[in-house]
Structure 1
Amino acid sequence: MPSIEQLKMFIAAAESGSFSAAGRTLGKGQSAVSTGIVNLEVDLGFELFDRTTRKPQLTENGERMLTYARAVLMQVENMTTAADSIFSGEETSVRVMLDDALMLPSLSQALIEFGEKFPATRIDLLSGVSPDIPGIVAQDQADIGLMFSGGSVQKGVEQVFIGNLPFVSVCVPNHPLTKLTEIGANELLSHRQLLLRSPQGSVLAQFPELSTQVWHATSFHALRELVMQGVGWAYLPEHLVSTAIASGQLARLNLRFEHKLWSPPVECIKLKHARMGPAVSWLFDSIKNVLS
């Protein structure tokens, strides 16, 4: 059975092009590397290097084995990393429940950094509707919640205000509302509005019904697609529609009662009094800065 040390010698020799260079890389003498590779070849039953040339060249079988050798070493390194994580008390997984409108580039970057810092800890990224997220976290079905604030104290969770996310009112360019230079509440009444609502019927107070015709969806991404198809108008996160507005696929509505961009508050939440391990603590602190 090949040893890890033999595989290291084999890979180092293949990558450096000589046994002596491999020895320098590994801090061993040339003879030790040469002997180690010969023993590996004996174990495998075939030659890995052609030694008839001035510098040893991988044989066809050696090329095939090199891929497997690298994979074995990678698995060993992953195992070592996992063992170090367990010894350090790092969690096996972290469950993050978020409103999909908050899947921001800054959050993606935080998750990438998390993966580099905690390579043995798995992320379970769950999508939900903001009104339902506090209950899910309170029932310990998620470690961290990222949501639009409901404007009240939520039982069983610790809430941290982390900033505001700008929203814009949009529709397709040929929608009747775009023909109006200024739009008031009365003008909106007869035009279908698209709103977020959870499967249980929960809504956010910041998203009022302004029309007599209202359709609902459980995600802002679904609402955006409905707006893009001309189904109605909606308030949507600016980052989800800025490209479509710039390209002329969507148009902003000039609402009389909006002096500035409407920016609902966003909260990061966790189970109250929960003991957080190093991975959850690091990610919770990072998520608190995604709107900075």
Structure 2
Amino acid sequence: MICNRRWVLFRSLLVPRASFDQLNAFVSVAEQGSFSKAAIKLKKDRSTLHRQVSDLEIDWGITLFERNGKAPKLTEQGESLLRASKLIIYQMNALESATESLFLGDKTRISICHDSSIPSSAILQIDKECRSQHPMTVINWLSRPRQQALDLLVKGEVDFCITLNQGELHPERGVSFINLGYAEFNYYVHKNSPLANRQQLSMPELQLHRQYVLEDLEQSNFGQQTLISSQTSTVSDPKSLFRLLELEGFSLLPTSMVEESNEDFLSLDLDFALQTGRLGYVLLYPSSAVKKSWQQDIINAVGDWFRETCSILS
């Protein structure tokens, strides 16, 4: 027994204590409950797995499985090492995925600016789609006013901006753009508002009530055209705006944002508007001769959400 321990110690000084294949074999046999099923999962010969697990037991100097019965059974020592082995395999797979992503030209970090009228459901869907394609890339979502977002884009501090279309034919120098479509906007009130369920509201009637305006919408080229009331309050945060609407007033908001919040807000029936309004959005990104694959994936993910949303509301 002493000689065997000395041999294990001597062997451990010459070779690695455990290889990735050995750990993978150990974990697979433990999870599948048999060498045969583990071999099918790993697409290897059963004899290969037997050898890898046996070599691991020799390297570690412990018995991982009891082999007396028909199926291998984890020993107490094997059970105690299973979780750590799984973690090492997970980390190795993550490392390989990260190196592969870098080899293919992925960025380690992508920053996307958006204005406050972009609903959280859009961010969640776009983020999920992008991360499924680039799992090792960190994606930052930054709510910024349009001009600040554009400044960050020109400086190279962010990679994309999703913002309201300013109606300009030519973008800023060094910036490319994609028109994303026209999202539906409506004037909304809380269900307990005296304006709720009123038919054919006139502009003079509406002007008697406070109007809350999203700051990013107000600062757009179309912002002034949306102002009706002489009593206007600018709000940066959509959540705060919804809370204020519970007290009084009305606001022009994206339909998609209101629908994801709750059912406590109703659109107004106006005698001066025959149909709902629409405002356009644009995706801005640095100009380059050739788009990188990760850039195209972001563009596709953003475009998917806007195509889906604008078509549903059309």
**Which TM-score band (shorter chain)?**
0.7 to 0.9
Letter paired with 2:75: T
The aligned runs of 1:109-188 (5 Å cut-off) are: 109-152=125-168, 153-156=170-173, 157-178=175-196, 180-188=198-206
Q: 2:252 aligns with which of 220, 235, 251?
A: 235
- Aligned-residue sequence identity (percent) comes to 24
Higher helix share: 2
Change in CA separation of 1:141 and 1:222 when aligned onto 2, cut-off 3 Å? farther
Instruction: Give the aligned partner of residue 221 of structure 2.
Output: 205
How many correspondences in the alignment? 287
Instruction: Give the aligned partner of residue 214 of structure 1.
Output: 232
Deviation of 1:146 (Å): 0.8
Residues 1:284 and 2:299 aligned together: yes
Letter paired with 2:266: A
Instruction: Give the aligned partner of residue 9 of structure 2.
Output: none
Instruction: Give the aligned partner of residue 259 of structure 1.
Output: 274
Contact 1:190 1:211 in 2 (8 A): yes
Mapped partners of 2:100, 2:204: distance in 1: 63
Structure 2: 5+ residue stretches without partners: 1-16, 308-314
Mapped partners of 1:35, 1:71: distance in 2: 22
Contact 1:169 1:234 in 2 (8 A): yes
TM-score calculated relative to the size of structure 1: 0.86
Residues 1:50 and 2:41 aligned together: no
Residues 1:101 and 2:113 aligned together: no
Mapped partners of 1:268, 1:154: distance in 2: 11
Q: 1:195 aligns with which of 204, 213, 227?
A: 213
Residues 1:272 and 2:287 aligned together: yes
**SS, match of residue 36 in structure 1:** helix
1:117-166 alpha-carbon deviations (Å, 9 max, x no partner): 22222211222234543233223221111111122344232222110111
Mapped partners of 1:133, 1:27: distance in 2: 50
Mapped partners of 1:244, 1:282: distance in 2: 28
The aligned runs of 1:34-113 (5 Å cut-off) are: 34-103=50-119, 105=121, 108-113=124-129
Change in CA separation of 1:77 and 1:179 when aligned onto 2, cut-off 3 Å? closer
1:230-267 alpha-carbon deviations (Å, 9 max, x no partner): 2421011112223667x4x2222222221111111111
Instruction: Give the aligned partner of residue 12 of structure 2.
Output: none
Letter paired with 2:162: L
Structure 1: 5+ residue stretches without partners: none
Q: 2:25 aligns with which of 9, 27, 40?
A: 9
Higher alpha-carbon deviation: 14-23 or 165-174: 14-23
**SS, match of residue 223 in structure 2:** coil
